[in-house]
Structure 1
Amino acid sequence: MTPNWGITFGLIVLSLFWLVHGVPVKTKSGKHRKDSQGNFGDLLERRQENMEGGLETKLLNVFGLRELPKHGRKQFETPSFMMELYQSLAEEKNQQARTTATRQIKANTVRSFFDTGRGRKNSFVFDLHGLLPREFVLSAELRLYVQKEKENAKKDTARVNLFQISGSGTRQQSDLLETRTVHITEKGWLVFDVTQTFLSHQKHLAAASLLENTTMHYAIEMVDESDNELRISRRRRRNQDRMPLLILYLNDTAIRKNDILTPAYMDIHGEKLQDGAGEEKEENTSGKRRRRKRSTSSARRSNTRSKKCQLYEFYVDFQKVGWSDWIIAPNGYNANFCNGHCPFPLDPHFNATNHATVQAILNTKDFSLKGQRIPKPCCVPSDFDSIHVLYLDDYNNVVLKEFDDMEAKSCGCH
């Protein structure tokens, strides 16, 4: 049975959140209480370390990481294309467009790879480290930023060939992928569809995971040698955001939902990024939300036991969990939780299952099993929503992944 990584991720986040804020019980003197077996504080500390270690292992499996990234995102510039894609998914109008469109090819993971810089002029090499065995390529595109040619260019356009390079030395082979006419007097992104180079790999390889050890090599060549050459941005320090990019749209088979449109159905190449306004607004909103929760948390704790089954707001802050260095966006999310009792008879708004209804009846009739009374139905989430997470992997590649069942949207008695 395939594990539900969305539920797993959600449980890990919530568990680590409580572990981070949980502390061993202390006496008035400030020292941990001791029992007959030794220092109770040390025992709790060891148990907490073991729990965190187990949760960290599960977290690595969910994200497909070998270890938690130790690099900081402050030292790394997120490709504007990836941030733009993430923001487009967060917009409500795009959500409606995705649900109404038909015959769409959708992904649940997008991986970006920077050019390694090992290729010659107008030659681009990408190491595909970080791909998971459970991920399969749906679509791929090569993105090259063309700088504006000087005013004395011979002509405005030029024809270029795109090749895939395989082998090395005397066995090197060039396969023509596309011929295109390019406006060399205009600057901007030149995007090539290179999906076929990956589909052929997946067709002949036993597992898609073998792609991880593959190096994809592409080259641009002028059809007419007399034409001005394309000025493609490649400098890492000055123009990191304009470096050549390889974008893979993937299907992670461990994730049920697919919301990310492949290039044939989306048009975000010409949109401009907001000047951080959206992110700042999100931070301010979450801050207000947290302040509101703090002011009402004590009141909620005092009366939640007497309330019927319902949904409560709960915001998970990735910075407090300790993941803000490698999770780029969002800053956190509303996990929410369900709490309250399931009264008999169960009203329709409790979304009770037939099983829960029967169990509630048996509870009122004092039915017992092995001397224990059959309990009332439990108040649990009945409807979930997914979230998209933009993060850095082990190799400084920016990844956008969708996670199922992360936000509790409604509750029911089950």
Structure 2
Amino acid sequence: MALVWKCFSPASGWTDTRTDRSSSAPAPSTLHQAAHRASTCGPPSQGFPVGFTAHFKQPPQYMVDLFNTVANADGVTKNPDILEGNTVRSFLDKTHGEKMRFLFVLSSVAKNEKILTAELHLFRLWPKATDGPKRHHFCQVSIYQILDKTEPDSPQGQKLLASRLLSLQGSGWEVFAITQAVRDWTEDESSNRGLLVTVHGLGGSPLDAPAVQFASSRDHHESKKPMLVLFTDDGRRGASLPTADFPDLQPQDPVLPAKMTVPKLNGPRSTRSLDRLQPCQRHPLSVDFEEIGWSGWIISPRGYNAYHCKGSCPFPLGENMRPTNHATVQSIINALKLSEGVSSPCCVPDKLHSINLLYFDDDENVVLKQYDDMVAGSCGCH
């Protein structure tokens, strides 16, 4: 997958380590590769929603670009196979000072969420100019889960999560898979003692400090702060997700047999006033998050087309009304006045679709989540 911005070059040298994925779905590496490259080109044309207030932190550009990769301007999923799971959360480092140590508070992750992939995103700074020839051209960067706060540097106090070679030249985002550590932390919150990053020469030899530096949460710009990105699924996503055009799907349930003829009514129709109404169908319904008071926490989209159902369900119901079997029987009972208090069927949504929302949660973490039943995909008489 590629975004439309020209600065997405496959030869940019971006790398990541991700060895613990077993799903057949496309890896998030493609997504965050595009998203991080997009952030180096400046923000996309789609900015913050109207009414976005200054008291909130600026969302990570990675998350904004990820939303634009996954969804269109209305939040509708471009392709249901783009993203694994239905929730992406970002967490900023809470250490505020300790270089090469990082701590992320994951209390907002629900117990029912399945941890799919967790990634540590670190921004590598340009190396400082040094005099004389360099003895080393590469270094070994390793990520450890801290097991014992009192002895984090000892073999007993740490657990290796990821390790790879990096060139001593260059700058940009580096991404490391730390899924197992996050699974441990979500199962036992007290075990979360953070992460330790070490830098050594080839074979573990010491390097002239500082050989490689990563941006910290205290000393560098918001756009370069260390970040944990977590891909999860809460188990509520259906087998299929909507695409941008919302095809008018046909009902899957068997309908009443055609040989069941509709009885003819004697005398004038009691539904004559409904004849002047349009039949049940879908109509646009524009939702502006500022108008309903949600723009303070929703980052994107600014709004969307929810659609709504309106129109009559006159007797007899045709197949174009997409009636349920129950609605067909109810329509006959109502038309023949066989039972008091039985109204005609109502025009309601019979297919509902999800949209993606990018928003701040209660802890001011930025979350990308698919919300079900937000769009009326089609209407019928029920």
TM range (shorter): 0.5 to 0.7
CA distance in 2, matches of 1:217, 1:121: 12
- Structure with the largest fraction of helix: 1
Q: What is the distance in 2 between the residues matched to 1:380 and 1:135?
A: 32
Question: Shift of the alpha carbon at 1:107?
Answer: 1.0
**Bigger shift: 245-254 or 380-389?**
245-254
1:355 corresponds to 2:326: yes
| Cα distance in structure 2, aligned partners of 1:199 and 1:159 | 25
Specify whether residues 186 and 170 from structure 1 end up closer, same or farther in structure 2 by C-alpha distance, changes over 3 A only: closer
Q: How does 1:4-403 map to 2 (within 5 A)?
A: 72=53, 75-91=56-72, 98-99=80-81, 106-118=84-96, 120-152=98-130, 154=134, 155-170=136-151, 173-201=157-185, 205=187, 211=189, 215=192, 217-224=194-201, 225-226=206-207, 228-236=210-218, 238-256=220-238, 306-368=277-339, 372-403=340-371
- What's the CA shift for 1:73? 5.2
What's 1:273 paired with? none
State how far apart, in whole Å, the 2-side matches of 1:188 and 1:257 are: 37
AA aligned to 2:196 is A
2:70 touches 2:78 (CA, 8 Å); kept in 1?
no
Deviation at 1:142, TM superposition (A): 0.4
The size of the alignment, in residue pairs, is: 287
C-alpha displacement of 1:237: 6.9
Q: Normalising by the residue count of structure 2, what TM-score does the alignment of the two structures yield? A: 0.68
Rounded Cα–Cα distance in structure 1 between residues aligned with 2:240 and 2:159: 32
Per-residue CA deviations over 1:142-191 (Å, capped at 9, x if unaligned) read: 00000121354724321122111123225871111222001231111100
Distance in 2 of aligned mates of 1:395 and 1:168 = 25
Pair 1:216–1:356, CA change in 2 (3 A): farther
Moved more, 396-405 or 191-200: 191-200
Q: Which TM-score applies when normalising by structure 1?
A: 0.63
Q: Distance in 1 between matches of 2:78 and 2:160?
A: 39
The one-letter code sitting in structure 2 at the alignment partner of 1:146 is R
* 1:238 to partner: Cα distance: 4.6
Aligned partners of 2:147, 2:303: CA distance in 1, in Å? 43
Q: Is the 8 Å Cα contact of residues 339 and 379 (structure 1) preserved in structure 2? A: yes
Q: Secondary structure at the match of 2:343?
A: coil
Q: Give the whole-Å Cα distance in 1 for the aligned partners of 2:288 and 2:176.
A: 38
The 3 A distance-change label for structure 1 pair 373 and 396 is: closer
How far the C-alpha of 1:75 sits from its partner, in A, is 4.0
AA in 2 matched with 1:310: Q
Distance, in Å, in 2 between the alignment partners of 1:79 and 1:160 is 24
Paired residue secondary structure (2:146): strand
Identity of aligned residues (%): 36
SS in 2 for 1:352: coil
Does the CA contact (< 8 Å) of 2:285 and 2:308 recur in 1?
A: yes
RMSD (CA atoms): 2.9
What amino acid is aligned across from residue 121 of structure 1 in structure 2? K
Distance change >3 Å, CA 219–CA 349, structure 1 → 2: same
Equivalent-residue separation in structure 1 for 2:106 and 2:198 (angstroms): 24
> How many angstroms apart in 2 are the aligned matches of 1:393 and 1:304?
48
Partners of 1:244 and 1:310 in 2: CA distance: 49
1:195 is displaced (CA, Å) by 0.8
Which residues of structure 2 form unaligned runs of 5+?
1-51, 243-273
2: CA distance between counterparts of 1:304 and 1:201? 62
Contact 1:128 1:214 in 2 (8 A): no
Change (3 A) 1:409 1:310: same
- Structure 1's 377 and 237: CA in aligned 2 closer, same or farther, altered over 3 A? farther
Sort the Cα spacing of 1:387 and 1:236 in 2 relative to 1 into closer, same or farther, 3 A.
Answer: farther
- Conserved 8 A contact 1:391-1:400: yes
**Partners of 1:400 and 1:138 in 2: CA distance:** 15
The separation in 2 between residues aligned to 1:355 and 1:311, in whole angstroms, is 21
CA contact (8 A) 1:305 1:341 kept: no
Residue ranges of structure 1 left out of the alignment (5+ in a row): 1-70, 261-302
How far apart are residue 95 of structure 1 and its match? 5.2
Query: Partners of 1:85 and 1:391 in 2: how far apart?
Result: 13
Q: 1:177–1:170: structure 2 CA closer, same or farther, 3 Å change rule? A: closer
1:108–1:257 Cα contact (<8 Å) kept: no
Q: Secondary structure at 2:103's aligned position in 1?
A: strand
